[in-house]
């Protein structure tokens, strides 16, 4: 095993647990945890700041920073970028392959946490928990009528680990579950008691519509003025996946005009497009919106799991091996210069 000074790992995330830190140390890694300003995530760090943090790193455990070609070119020692999460739309995968880097994600680590969060948002919006508490704070203890999740029709867009976790939980509520997924699995449908449906059917029939799809050119603005127009006026939208799946300005207009029952939002377009910040602020102010700051995966248990998966991927690469196949999203080692 190479000496520790040849295996420097930089972590640009908060909440890095002692067990994962001990694992990295036991595998000959020197670990530096970046000190981020209060309220700031690594996605807000500049190119120059990141280069300064990572110039001697062989492995990087990253959150939401943009991993650009220019950044990777500035870090010739860096061998592996390991996301403490599952999305990778902010990583230039082509650049990573061209430059001989490995990019990994923490597949499965946060699935249970996000699935719990989605169900919690369904209940919170449906039962008008935010409105009720605010009324009580204002001295008004009158009862607001909400709506059950029990035996409702729920549309699930996407059937990866999180989508399947949501389906599993919804079965306890005896829901009628409609799923849209790119590759329908008939055996799973029989086992889970779901029905596959096209998107128009999901939009038209769902009492709750929950999004668990990746952000791609095909899914960007999946929820927009036209698709919202096909939904029930009482329907509730849940997005714990990616902000770009929903055109937030169109969602805001629908909610303000009473064309949708409510929304539970953990992600926003303004996370990647600052021009949408005023739209986000207006969404947050609505009484029938329950919002969290991209926190669906952020439980102690979920972060401990994703920390460890990210760390194991780094050690595997630095040891000359490979992370589990489901964790690898880019592997450019066949292109790596011999001097790297």
Active site residues: 242, 271, 294
What does the alpha-carbon distance between residue 10 and residue 291 come to, in Å, rounded to a whole number?
A: 31
CB 84 within 8 A of CB 13: yes
77 to each of 21, 171, 301, 339, 340, how far by Cα in Å? Answer: 21, 48, 32, 10, 6
How many other β-carbons are positioned within 10 Å of the β-carbon of residue 251? 26
Among 115, 116, 61, 99, smallest CA distance to 327 is for 61
Q: Tokens 């939009």 label which residue?
A: 203
DSSP letter, residue 156: E
What does the alpha-carbon distance between residue 96 and residue 331 come to, in Å, rounded to a whole number?
A: 7
CB 42 within 8 A of CB 64: yes
Question: Which two structure tokens, joined as six digits, stand for 75?
Answer: 């870090």
End-to-end C-alpha distance for the chain, whole angstroms? 17
Measured in degrees and rounded to the nearest 5, phi and psi for residue 18 equal -65, -35
Among 167, 125, 108, 112, smallest CA distance to 265 is for 125
């Amino acid at each position: 095993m190479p000496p520790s000074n040849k295996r420097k790992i930089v972590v640009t995330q908060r909440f890095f647990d002692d067990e994962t830190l001990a694992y990295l140390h036991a595998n000959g890694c020197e670990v530096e945890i970046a000190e981020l300003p209060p309220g700031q995530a690594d996605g807000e760090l500049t190119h120059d700041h990141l280069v300064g943090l990572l110039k001697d790193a062989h492995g990087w455990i990253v959150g939401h920073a943009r991993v650009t070609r220019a950044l990777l070119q500035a870090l010739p020692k860096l061998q592996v970028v390991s996301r403490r999460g599952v999305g990778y739309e902010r990583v230039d995968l082509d650049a990573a392959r061209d430059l001989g880097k490995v990019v990994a994600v923490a597949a499965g680590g946060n699935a249970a946490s996000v699935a719990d969060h989605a169900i919690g948002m369904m209940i919170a919006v449906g039962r008008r928990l935010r409105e009720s508490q605010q009324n009580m704070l204002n001295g008004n203890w009158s009862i607001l009528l909400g709506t059950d999740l029990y035996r409702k029709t729920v549309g699930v867009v996407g059937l990866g680990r999180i989508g399947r976790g949501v389906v599993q939980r919804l079965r306890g509520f005896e829901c009628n579950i409609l799923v849209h997924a790119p590759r329908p699995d008939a055996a799973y449908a029989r086992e889970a008691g779901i029905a596959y449906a096209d998107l128009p059917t999901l939009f038209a029939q769902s009492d709750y519509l929950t999004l668990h799809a990746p952000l791609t050119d095909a899914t960007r603005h999946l929820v927009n003025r036209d698709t919202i127009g096909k939904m029930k006026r009482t329907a509730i939208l849940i997005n714990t996946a990616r902000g770009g799946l929903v055109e937030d300005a169109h969602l805001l207009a629908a909610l303000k005009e009473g064309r949708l029952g409510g929304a539970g939002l953990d992600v926003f377009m303004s996370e990647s497009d600052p021009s949408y910040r005023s739209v986000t602020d207006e969404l947050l102010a609505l009484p029938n919106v329950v919002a969290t700051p991209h926190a669906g995966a952020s439980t102690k248990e979920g972060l401990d799991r994703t920390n460890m998966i990210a760390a194991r991927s780094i050690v595997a690469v630095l040891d000359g091996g490979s992370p589990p196949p489901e964790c690898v999203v880019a592997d450019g080692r066949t292109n790596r210069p011999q001097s790297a």
